[in-house]
A and B are shown apart, each in its own frame.
Chain A
């Protein structure tokens, strides 16, 4: 750069969509959940590939998915994927819906509410399966 013009920092900078507040934190979470799910996807394709080795090899590895601790990790996975999906829809609405950027904060609270409403019964049923497997269930 030939000349350096000092950029004045006003009290309310232009374009605050990704600076602080809902805009930034949803973006940070989108990255964290995205990377986490991507790494799981690698492992998941590899474990599924064991169906080509032998039924025993596949069933042995899948048995680890049925243990209580991994069941909790699966709850985390479902929560991460659900957040990533809902916030992805919010991003698409910000990009393509004319009113999107103006209501991005409200949309953040809407997706948070949807996430909770879906996760509460979701977690209940996922853990119900684990508890039944652990302590036996009524037929």
Chain B
């Protein structure tokens, strides 16, 4: 079977091309595997174990975050999930927003919102004050 495509006339690969998309692709798979455990574990504990969501209140959160184990768990989950989801959204915007301007501003909105949520969540975990309760 002969190829209907003409042979390339010039080298398409630019010298300064970065490997950003390759690392993004790899990051989705590595973070994905870690998130399977972190997120499914989180959902199981919060929604199914004991009384499920019915038992969650301020005191419950205070009890969990008194342990560095759950702090690290929640912090890793926050960062990995936001970056994994943010990169997924970036891919979807690139696929469906056809106008350059639309694509640019949607991605700016995405980046600002993603960074905001990561910083907010990180501060909440690190500055949590159980004595408020």
Interface residue ranges, A against B (CB under 8 Å): 3, 5-8, 31, 34-35, 37-38, 41-42, 45-46, 48-49, 51-52, 54-55, 58-59, 62, 65-66, 71, 74, 77-78, 81-82, 85, 88-89, 91-92, 95-96, 122, 125-126, 129-130, 132-133
Q: Tell me what chain B mostly uses at the interface: helix, strand, loop, or mixed.
A: helix
Contact A81 B40 (CB under 8 A): yes
- CA gap between A78 and B47 in the complex, in Å: 9
The range of chain B's interface size is 35 or more
**B residues near A88, Cβ cutoff 8 Å:** 29, 32, 36
Judge if B63 is at the interface, Cβ distance under 8 Å: no
Interface residue ranges, B against A (CB under 8 Å): 4-6, 29, 32-33, 35-36, 39-40, 43, 47-48, 51-54, 56-59, 61-62, 78, 81-82, 85-86, 88-89, 92, 113, 117, 120-121, 123-124, 127-129, 132-133
Contact B53 A95 (CB under 8 A): no
